[in-house]
Structure 1
Amino acid sequence: MTRKKQIFIPVVILIAGILIFMLFSGMKKPPEEKAEVDNTPIVAVEPISVTPMTLEVDSYGVVQPKYETELVAQVSGQIVELSSAFVRGGFVKEGQLLARIDPNDYEAALIDAEATMASARASLETERAQGQVAEQEWKRITDTSPTELSLRKPQLAQEIARVKSAQASILRAKRNLERTEIRAPYDAMIDSRNVGLGSFVGTGSMIGKLLGTAIAEVRLPVADNQLEFLIDQGASATVNLIGTFAGAETQWPAKIARNEGVIDSKSRMSYLVAEIHDPYALSDSKQATPIRFGSYVNAKILGLHIAQATRVPRYLVENSRVAILDSESKLHFADINIIRQDGQNVIVSKGLSHGDQLIVSALDYPIDGMKLALITDEPEQDIEQQTDDTQSSTQVALNDSDSGE
């Protein structure tokens, strides 16, 4: 009996364990099926816009007058008259009187020169008459040829010389009298005035300084390797000058007048000179904004015209190729022709078409022909998922509210 119990008890325990295992196995949930993961790389793209383009060369400079003149007294004397326009910043016309030096002494000198001239002419006429009398008397006395001295020709030549000297004195006196009037040699703006009413000036004294208002110039430094992007190295090129006037950014048109033809020894730059006509808008009423002397301006020199071109960020270019997303959402490397680097971009003339999708995302292992997905597809799925989650949360909240009631 005891032996049967020893055999029966382990069998019962074994059967019970099997039953319990089967019970728990039946209660175990089957593993959830995981959604298939899409490992297609997601990229961002930008459309390519191919349009006609005019290349520009950037430069800078300071506006200066083409002509500037220092007025110097050519005669000495006291300043007896000053024009009201002869002040710093005043505008004057060509020939306008700026200052007058006391002319009394020079008028007296002119009268004295004229009197000397009259006396010399009288002496000349007297000597001519005496010469004719001497010639007639010599013919009555002898038939031999008279000498120069006998006919008083040396005396006549001396009187002629005195007349010419008197004429020179008159011209000198008139010129000195004219120099007592300081007049503007051209339309100008007064840069400085160094004399006052009643002050005495000597010959060579500085009167003032004029800046011509007809034409302004800007010297524009250009690197030698940038001249290739200009037509004829910039000859007669159009320039847009950009500066500030009364706190507002303003643009003025200009033209390249000349190339200085040398390379600066310090900056290693070539200099193109742009000209602006009527910079202070004195004669052209349509130009409302003047460009003032001394203004700092940035310049854009218009150069070569490209029929079809586009700009591409430089970091996207590798070995003259860029990555394009084709119509089948596959990566394609396009060979491009770079004609110029422009800051952080490059200008491309060939290899890209209008509407091409340029890949701007970084890819770890880009392979030509690999399948890609647009980054814009991902947000739509996220929005749908967020919408579903929001609706579920709202439903749970409503159920909890109903349960509370």
Structure 2
Amino acid sequence: MKAFNKSVILYSTILIVAMGLHSCSNSKAEKETKEEISTVNAFLLQQEPLSDTLTIAGELLAFQQVDLYAKMNSFVRQLTVDVGSKVNKGQLLAVMDAPEMNAQQDVVSSRMQSQEAIYMASKATYDRLLETSKTPGTISQNDLEQAEARKNADYGQLQASKAMLRESKNNRSYLEIRAPFSGVITSRNVSQGAFVGVGAGAVPLFTLQEQDKLRLIIQVPESNAGAIQLGQRVDFTVRSIPEQIFTSKAARLSGALDNRLRAQRIEMDVINKDNNLLPGMIPEVQLVLQASTKNTFVVPQSALLRSSQGTFIIKVEKGKTIWVPVQTGISSGDRISIFSSLSLQDTLISNATEEIRNGAVMKGQLKIVQ
């Protein structure tokens, strides 16, 4: 009987302890479901300009570059320049030789002279008949018209011969290779006496580059493509002169993204009168990225909540916390631009953490800090 009473007492004690623990557990869970936020710092959302510096590798190219080819099958008679030669526009670079062209021009010239003689004879005949026809009944109208037609036909043949002679002389001018613009000869691929041809597989005689003015080419990533404007200043350095900072301005924007790089091509014009810079150099470019103030908000980095679900800003509205998804733009120090459905003067938590749950009721004091 005593053993039975002890068992009842022990069972009752265990039951009471279990109920107590269950009650504590329920009380703790209820407490956790109600987000209690003590005094927290917040700020009012504002728009402001924000800039950052993007360092990117570029490429220097000649402002103009051309490969100069022979204009017809010929031999190199004379080369007047070599690699490194500075030339002016229109300067003679090479003289070619095509012996068959001399014979062709002689044939065309002789043909023109013959046609000219035929025309002069037919013209003289027509002029005599015309003068004679002034006496009534001496020359029939038909004979006069035939003489005139013959004269006109011979005149047409003469003009065609003259055109062929001009063409032959123009072709001879093709034997002189001249510079299309001022620049530097950076490559010579033939020697005197070499045969050069035209068409597929032809080898250029020279490569000419304009180096007094260069193109600086950069590829700006998609995320920053809209932050570069025409006329914007661009600074860059090169490895050969690391202590010198060169300056240029954005001159041309492609207005489209490269399908492979997903970047926008931007070109700058670089004056290079001292020839300190060479085409082919890879400069390090410093771009100041300017964020647009239109529909662009700037917040502290600490206000961003980065979680596995995305990036959020915690907004306080009507006493509750709301996680608002945002996209980030450029940053500078502890400030970053964001894009979202927020509005000016929205109240945002300064130090966002996952402990501040979405939809939680604010309990406590909210301190606005600017």
Normalised by the size of structure 1, how large is the TM-score? 0.55
Tell me if the contact between 1:148 and 1:154 (Cα under 8 Å) persists in the aligned partners: no
8 Å Cα contact 1:132/1:151 also seen in 2: no
Equivalent residue for 1:45?
none
- Paired residue for 1:226, among 214, 224, 227? 224
User: 2: CA distance between counterparts of 1:148 and 1:209?
Assistant: 64
Pairing of 1:272-291 with structure 2 (within 5 A)? 272-277=266-271, 279=272, 281=273, 288=274, 290-291=276-277
**Aligned match of 2:357:** none
Would you say the 8 A contact 1:188–1:210 is kept in 2? yes
In 2, Cα distance between the equivalents of 1:263 and 1:223? 9
The corresponding residue for 1:296 is 282
Quote the offset at 1:114 in angstroms.
Answer: 3.7
SS at match of 2:169: helix
2:52·2:330 contact (CA, 8 Å) conserved in 1? no
Note the C-alpha offset of 1:196. Answer: 0.9
Summarize the Cα distance change of 1:245–1:124 in structure 2 as closer, same or farther, 3 Å threshold: same
Give matches, 1:130-279, under 5 Å.
130-140=125-135, 142=137, 146-147=141-142, 150-204=145-199, 205-206=202-203, 207-230=205-228, 234-245=229-240, 248-277=242-271, 279=272
| Count of aligned positions | 266
Deviation of 1:184 (Å): 1.2
Deviation at 1:111, TM superposition (A): 4.7
8 Å CA contact 2:62, 2:279 repeated in 1: yes
Q: Which runs of 5+ in 1 are unaligned?
A: 1-51, 282-287, 307-311, 322-338, 349-366, 370-405
- Say which SS state the counterpart of residue 265 (structure 2) adopts: strand
Whether the 8 Å contact between 2:51 and 2:289 is mirrored in structure 1 is: yes
In structure 2, give the amino acid aligned to 1:199. Answer: A
Q: Deviations over 1:165-224 (max 9, x none)?
A: 222122112212211111111112223222111111234443232222243223222233
Aligned-pair identity in percent equals: 21
Q: Which runs of 5+ in 2 are unaligned?
A: 1-48, 293-298, 306-312, 315-327, 338-364
What residue in structure 2 maps to residue 377 of structure 1?
A: none
Residues 108 and 263 of structure 1: CA distance in aligned 2, closer, same or farther (over 3 Å): same
Letter in 2 for 1:262: A
SS at match of 2:244: strand
| d(CA) in 2 for partners of 1:86, 1:313 | 61
Distance of 1:241 and 1:289 partners within structure 2: 16
3-state SS of paired residue (1:171)? helix
Q: Is the contact between residue 57 and residue 229 of structure 1 (CA under 8 Å) also seen in structure 2?
A: no
SS in 2 for 1:213: strand
- The answer (yes or no) to whether the contact 1:237–1:303 under 8 Å persists in 2 is no
1:116 and 1:346, CA in 2 relative to 1: closer, same or farther beyond 3 A?
same
Which stretch shifts more, 267-276 or 297-306?
A: 297-306
- Structure 1 residues 144 and 55: alpha-carbon distance in aligned structure 2, compared to 1, 3 A threshold: farther
Residues 211 and 275 in structure 2, CA contact (< 8 A), matched pair in contact too: no
What does residue range 75-90 of structure 1 map to in structure 2 within 5 Å?
75-83=72-80, 85-87=81-83, 89-90=84-85
Q: Distance in 1 between matches of 2:240 and 2:300?
A: 33
Question: Is residue 65 of structure 2 the alignment partner of residue 68 of structure 1?
Answer: yes
Asked which structure has the greater CA Rg, the reply is: 1
The 2-side partners of 1:318 and 1:118 are apart by: 91
1:99 is aligned to 2:99? no
**C-alpha separation in 2, matches of 1:272 and 1:67:** 17
Match of 2:113 in 1: 118
Whether the aligned pair in 1 keeps the contact of 2:60 and 2:279 (CA below 8 Å) is: yes
- Residue 295 of structure 1, CA deviation: 0.8
Pairwise CA distance, 1:58: 3.7
TM-score of the aligned structures, taking structure 2 as reference length: 0.60
* CA–CA distance in structure 2, aligned partners of residues 251 and 305 of structure 1: 24
Q: CA RMSD in A?
A: 3.7
Describe the superposition over 1:258-313 as per-residue Cα deviations: whole angstroms up to 9, x where unpaired. Answer: 11121111222122122213x3x2xxxxxx4621111111222345499xxxxx99
Cα shift at 1:256:
1.6
Whichever residue aligns with residue 172 of structure 1, its letter is E
- The answer on whether the counterparts of 2:227 and 2:291 sit within 8 Å (CA) in structure 1 is no
Secondary structure, in 3 states, of the residue corresponding to 2:283?
A: strand
| SS of equivalent residue, structure 2 residue 269 | strand
SS in 1 for 2:239: strand
* Paired residues of 2:252 and 2:266 also in contact (CA < 8 A): yes
